[in-house]
Structures are given as C-alpha cells and as structure tokens.
Amino acid sequence: MMHVNRNWKAKKGLIRVSMDVENGVINNIKISGDFFMFPEESINELENMLKGSKIDNIKSIIDKFYNEGIITPGVEPQDFVNAIAGE
C-alpha cells in the first residue's frame, strides 16, 4: 500500500488530499483545504464515495457527487479529479 499526499490549487482555494492507494484502488482518503463546500458535511460523503474506488473511475464518481446539488464556489469538479489523480 502506498500513502499519497497531494495539493492542488484551484481558482478559489487549495485542495489537500491524503490517501492510501493499493493497486490503483483508494483504500482511505481525507480531503481538506481552504475551499468552501455547501452543504459543508458533503465532503464526508465524497470521501465515502471514493473509498474502494479505482483512481481511473474518480471522474465519474465526482460528477455524480456534483449532480446531487453540491456547490463549491471557485472550485470545479475537475479540480478534485486533478487533486486526487495527480494530473
């Protein structure tokens, strides 16, 4: 298992990702930073959706998450994809 820490600078905030990855699968993930997300507790939901997922599938998971009406002013779904996938 590999522990990965990444930072991604979005237009209006920094996204910090700390995760454990094994064979391309996210075993554990913590997302933090100085961005705003509404509703605020949604970040926990996103983390839970990503646990057990392959890195290759995170874009579709994040898109599904945003389709639930999540708002992140100045931070786009692709910013989270980049922060997690390291692109």
Q: What is the CATH number of the domain that holds 27?
A: 3.30.390.50
Q: Across the strands, what pairs with 69? A: none
pLDDT mean over 56-76: 97
DSSP state of 50: H
Contact 43, 36 (CB under 8 A): no
Model confidence pLDDT, tens digit, residues 16-54: 999 999 999 999 999 999 999 999 999 999 999 999 999
Containing domain of residue 49, as a range?
2-85
Contact 7, 16 (CB under 8 A): yes
Number of domains in the chain: 1
Contact 21, 1 (CB under 8 A): yes
Q: What is the pTM of this model?
A: 0.95
